[in-house]
Structure 1
Amino acid sequence: MKNLTKQQKLIMGISFAVIIIAAVILGFVLKQPKETEEVATEPEATEETVVDDGSHEGMAKSLLTGEWIDEALASSRPIAIMTENTKVNMPQYGLNSAGVIYECPVEGGITRLMAIYDDYKNLTQIGNVRSCRPYYAYIASEFDAIYVHFGQSVQGEEVLNTGIVDDLNGLGGEESVTFFRTDEHPKPHNAYTSAEGIAAGISYKGYDTAYDSSYTGHYQFAEDGAVNELASGEDCKYVSLYFFNNSPSFTYDEETHKYLRYQFGDKQIDKVDGEQVAVTNIILQNVDSSIYEGTQYLNIPLVGSGTGKYITNGKIIDITWKKDSDSGVTHYYDNDGNEIVLNQGQTWVSLIQNAYADQNVYSAEVPQ
């Protein structure tokens, strides 16, 4: 350092001073609290996914199908409509909107249907509508349904007079507001009803539209996402019933897991949606039968017990059934004595006369 010139010493001094001043300034700055601007951040854009959180707000399970529907519909009494099932009245209107369909033999070797609906608000033509038979009135009462028919047999009238079921009758004062006729077919094959007509008839008769507080439903259904596979059952992809006039059958659709309905040698089509009638469950209930003395009409007692079949998901099992009283509900049991659990969806029930039950055909393969 002694050998440095005065000029070099001056430059070095200035440099040290600059360094010291810079260090002081930097230290001061670093000690100050940092000021940050609050910035609202947008959530990162992601692809929308629908998550099933199990919420069914405003909905409830249908007592007819076990499926979720509008809670107002689920709490409202269904309607049970007598529907003709002869070739002359084809096509039928509204069957694919029904939750449950009954097919029972009547006089002359023909069958008649009763379609039970909890959601029919958009139907402007339903039927056609035909007359009551006593066992149908009892069945309608099992669902706390309002029974819609056009006339009745003598025996049917006796049951209706007991008040066991509320009804809308085409031969009653409600005819003009509930029913209408078309020119599709001649009388008596051309009487129909509609959602609007049914509402008017219910208002005319003053019926309560809510389920009775004591009513808990007719069937047990599988839980959401569960399937009753009838693991102990035999394969059943084809069912043919003995009914002489319409020769009905069902074939199993592997894709939809439904049974497609055929009769009169062709697909059974609902005129409303143009689709073939298809159901998830088939119940065959074997029953005794006789003819009311001096008439052509069938007597089919429903109180008691018997055997039958339950068919779903491409399988079939033997079942038993039991009904304790005219006002009771029919229950169905497997061979272990457990009440059967239906898969969610439409159910077709056929009353099978014991005398002809062995003429039904069940096959693991669809005939070619």
Structure 2
Amino acid sequence: MKKKMLKFLAGVLISCTLAGSAVSVQAEDNLEMQVTSYLTGEDVPESVGRRRPIAVMLGNDTNGAPQSGTGNAGVIYEAPVEGGITRLMAVIEDYDNLQRIGSVRSCRDYYIFYANEFDAIYAHYGQAVYALQYLDQHVIDNLNGLTLGNAYYRTTDRVAPHNAYTDAAHLQAGIQSLGYSQQYPEGYTGHYQFAPEGTEITLDEGAPATLVKLDNFWDNHPWFEYNAETKEYSRFQFNAPHVDQLTGQQLTCDNIILQYSGYQAYDANGYLNIDTQSGGSGKYITRGKAIDITWSKDSQWGTTHYYDSNGQEIQLNRGKTWVEIVLNDSVGSVTLQ
């Protein structure tokens, strides 16, 4: 992995005597290696980019939005859950300075598979019964608020269960109490392929996609609008800009992946068994254009790969990515203009 040296110059005071005048100088150099982020392809400090990220389950109904800490996520997944609402999973590597992250909600089994694709430590507060078989087998490092009180805290500005939050100190307390490694395994190369440095993916032969409307999610009706000046997509939901509550800034991204997925209902309560393994079709959207893609996995716990019409694995533009899990029978409610 290509590394760059970033030099921070602090506390400069020069000591010398020249023509009867004395000037004091003292210099101190702070050096930290820069590495390429596995989440965004951007240069980040090694202490951030070589630490396993957290993948946090977030509420996304009117009680749970806006969320805190989402502006720092390198990747965000959105998928439907029971009751017609969606939940988000924010994959965050740079969380040390976040005052709070959340609100943290309960696990669904398919999100376990998505989190594992990034070798992330999965943060959730409880779970649907169908996820217990994976959590009980300890197949993924996870911080469960029902059994691990030191990883989360409650706030008073929202009512339960929408007021469970975490931050760097609480995350570290939980991770250390369970003895999880925060280092990527040897040989880890990341999830995505990114455009080479100094280049960009423009999808010149793609269809127009300056507006991406996801009316398949009928509760929050999210959409993305492309800004040609910033080359980013701005996110909206509930008829308003979707913001990070901590900063008030609207969420943006450089890449959108629509992953069309099959599913079955687990029970009459609406719990979904979303197929994360069998593969399917979708769209890759960036720089105001969209192309058809297919996706596949080589195993249940493997990584999802996305391919263009020529069978080549796609490259993403460096920056943030939203992955939208669209159920196969609702693809017709997605609009690209």
Query: TM over 0.5: same fold?
Result: yes
Decide whether the 8 Å contact of 1:253 with 1:259 is kept in 2.
yes
SS of the residue 1:203 aligns to: helix
**Counterpart Cα distance in 2 of 1:255 and 1:345:** 15
2:194 pairs with 1:221:
yes
SS of the residue 2:279 aligns to: strand
SS of the residue 1:321 aligns to: strand
Tell me: CA distance 1:311–1:183, structure 2 relative to 1, closer, same or farther (3 Å): same
| 1:96 corresponds to | 71
Aligned with 1:196 (options 169, 175, 178)? 169
**Counterpart Cα distance in 1 of 2:319 and 2:247:** 17
Which residue identity lines up with residue 283 of structure 1 in the other structure?
I
Deviation at 1:91, TM superposition (A): 2.2
Which residue identity lines up with residue 321 of structure 1 in the other structure?
W
**Counterpart Cα distance in 1 of 2:99 and 2:153:** 11
Decide whether the 8 Å contact of 1:144 with 1:215 is kept in 2.
no
SS of the residue 2:134 aligns to: helix
Question: For 1:1-368, what aligned pairs fall within 5 Å after superposition?
Answer: 58-172=33-147, 174-175=148-149, 177-241=150-214, 242-363=216-337
Decide whether the 8 Å contact of 2:292 with 2:308 is kept in 1.
yes
The two structures have a TM-score, normalised by structure 2, of: 0.89
Decide whether the 8 Å contact of 2:221 with 2:237 is kept in 1.
yes
Deviation at 1:214, TM superposition (A): 3.6
**Counterpart Cα distance in 1 of 2:294 and 2:117:** 18
Decide whether the 8 Å contact of 2:73 with 2:90 is kept in 1.
yes
**Greater strand fraction, Structure 1 or Structure 2:** 2
Structure 1 unaligned spans of 5+: 1-55, 364-368
Decide whether the 8 Å contact of 2:58 with 2:64 is kept in 1.
no
Deviation at 1:254, TM superposition (A): 1.1
**Greater helix fraction, Structure 1 or Structure 2:** 1
Which residue identity lines up with residue 213 of structure 1 in the other structure?
E
Deviation at 1:293, TM superposition (A): 3.2
Task: Write out per-residue CA displacement over residues 147-180 of structure 1, whole angstroms, 9 at most, x where no aligned residue.
Answer: 00000011111121232210001001x21x2111
**Counterpart Cα distance in 2 of 1:76 and 1:305:** 29
Decide whether the 8 Å contact of 1:141 with 1:164 is kept in 2.
no
SS of the residue 1:344 aligns to: coil
Which residue identity lines up with residue 258 of structure 2 in the other structure?
L
What RMSD over aligned residues (CA atoms) do the two structures have, in Å? 1.2
* Structure having the higher Rg: 1
Deviation at 1:57, TM superposition (A): 6.6
Decide whether the 8 Å contact of 1:164 with 1:327 is kept in 2.
no
Task: Write out per-residue CA displacement over residues 218-277 of structure 1, whole angstroms, 9 at most, x where no aligned residue.
Answer: 100011111001111112100001201000000001111111000001100101221100
The two structures have a TM-score, normalised by structure 1, of: 0.82
Which residue identity lines up with residue 209 of structure 1 in the other structure?
Q
Deviation at 1:321, TM superposition (A): 0.2
Task: Write out per-residue CA displacement over residues 17-74 of structure 1, whole angstroms, 9 at most, x where no aligned residue.
Answer: xxxxxxxxxxxxxxxxxxxxxxxxxxxxxxxxxxxxxxx9711000000000011221
Which residue identity lines up with residue 41 of structure 2 in the other structure?
G
**Counterpart Cα distance in 1 of 2:64 and 2:138:** 30
**Larger deviation: 155-164 or 270-279?**
155-164
Decide whether the 8 Å contact of 2:52 with 2:183 is kept in 1.
yes
Deviation at 1:81, TM superposition (A): 0.2
Query: What is the aligned-residue identity percentage?
Result: 48
**Counterpart Cα distance in 1 of 2:138 and 2:117:** 13
Decide whether the 8 Å contact of 1:84 with 1:129 is kept in 2.
yes
Decide whether the 8 Å contact of 2:203 with 2:286 is kept in 1.
yes
SS of the residue 1:135 aligns to: helix
Deviation at 1:216, TM superposition (A): 1.5
Number of residues of Structure 1 aligned to a counterpart in Structure 2 = 306
Task: Write out per-residue CA displacement over residues 175-231 of structure 1, whole angstroms, 9 at most, x where no aligned residue.
Answer: 1x2111111111101100001110111011110000011421110001111100111
**Counterpart Cα distance in 2 of 1:61 and 1:333:** 23
Which residue identity lines up with residue 224 of structure 1 in the other structure?
E
SS of the residue 1:89 aligns to: coil
**Larger deviation: 278-287 or 232-241?**
232-241
Which residue identity lines up with residue 59 of structure 2 in the other structure?
E
**Counterpart Cα distance in 1 of 2:59 and 2:114:** 17
